Amino acid sequence: MPGRHARGAPSPSSHHGIPRLEIRSREAYVFYTDVETVTAPEVLTACHAVLSEEERDRQRAFHFSADRHLFLVAHALLRNSLSHYASVAPQAWRFDVGPQGRPEISKSQRAVTDLRFNLSHARQLAACVIARHVDVGIDVECLDRKVDIVSIADRYFAPSESAQLARLTGHDQELRFLEYWTLKEAYVKAQGGGLSIPLDAFHFQQDEHRQWRIGFSDSSERPDRWQFRCLRPTPKHVMSIAIHRGDQPDFDLAISESAPVQ
């Protein structure tokens, strides 16, 4: 399904200076930011202002300035993006950690919003996905990530994926590896299962329309309950999104480059 720009005009009564947008039950929105472009001092100050004290502590704990910068921009992007769809100020969002470590909107705020989200960041890129009611996952990776592709695939991927990678070389192999990897990570994050889900228990392949589909080694699983998208938001990155849509038709997926603060 082609991506599109986020839809919805600002409401007459925008909250907290952020335009309010509408998100329907069968829509999901992805916002991403080229972190290297976020350098203006006033923007960085605004990013710091919306983080919680716990997030500021985590940000300061990174040894390298590039990692501190990436964390800052990513978490400001998430908070501001969520505030497009709920009457909650960016700095007021509170998050809980689920049983498998997945961040979720705090139980204390679920009475005012039914939003679900997921956040990912890799070198130079931060991205988040937001939907209502359904679990979602997102993963981004850099194409220049140097790994032993064949060794990792043989050890962790499904046999069909390893075989596909073995038939490729050079850039094609690197790209397909990161497509598989980000799709798998997005699925695991949407499931909230963390390391408890073996990466070879499911596999990906493209259908006749070049849409990504999941398959499971356990026949009790329902592949048709899942929707996936894999794309290149920049020439350097691969990004995958997973939506657990259940028995609903495919979601309309909007993808937009966005500033981390408004």
Higher model confidence: residue 125 or residue 108? 125
Instruction: Domain count for the chain, please give it.
Output: 1
Least confident of 22-31, 99-108, 249-258: 99-108
**Mean per-residue pLDDT over the chain, rounded:** 91
Least confident of 190-194, 206-210, 214-218: 190-194
Q: What is the pLDDT of residue 262?
A: 78
Residue 173: both structure tokens together: 């192999």
Kind of pairing between the strands at 226-231 and 27-34: unpaired
Query: Which residues are paired to 104 by β-bridges?
Result: 96
Judged against a pLDDT cut of 60, whether residue 15 lies above it is answered with no
Residue 14: both structure tokens together: 């925008």
Q: What is the pLDDT of residue 40?
A: 97
Residue 12: both structure tokens together: 């007459």
The dihedral of CA 72, 78, 81, 83: what is its sign?
A: negative
Mean pLDDT of 34-47: 97
**187 located within any domain:** yes
- CA angle in degrees (0–180, nearest 5) for 134-5-239: 60
**11 located within any domain:** no
Sheet holding 252-257, edge to edge: 115-122, 125-132, 27-34, 252-257
Report the alpha-carbon distance of residue 160 to residue 200 in Å, rounded: 10
Name the DSSP class of 49.
Answer: H
Domain that holds residue 69: 27-257
**4 located within any domain:** no
Query: Which residues are paired to 242 by β-bridges?
Result: 137, 228
Residue 236: both structure tokens together: 């350097």
**18 located within any domain:** no
Q: What is the pLDDT of residue 16?
A: 64
**111 located within any domain:** yes
DSSP SS3 for 248: coil
What's the CATH number where 99 sits?
3.90.470.20
Q: What is the pLDDT of residue 18?
A: 75
Judged against a pLDDT cut of 70, whether residue 6 lies above it is answered with no
Buried residues in 157-179 as b, exposed as e (16+ CB within 10 A): bbeebbebbeeeeeeebbebbbb
Judged against a pLDDT cut of 50, whether residue 5 lies above it is answered with no
Judged against a pLDDT cut of 60, whether residue 46 lies above it is answered with yes
Judged against a pLDDT cut of 80, whether residue 13 lies above it is answered with no
**8 located within any domain:** no
- CA angle in degrees (0–180, nearest 5) for 50-5-10: 60
| Amino acid found at 20 | R
Least confident of 127-141, 152-166, 168-182, 215-229: 215-229
**181 located within any domain:** yes
Report the alpha-carbon distance of residue 106 to residue 96 in Å, rounded: 5
Higher model confidence: residue 224 or residue 220? 224
**108 located within any domain:** yes
Output the pTM of the full model.
Answer: 0.92
Q: Percent of the chain at pLDDT above 90? A: 80
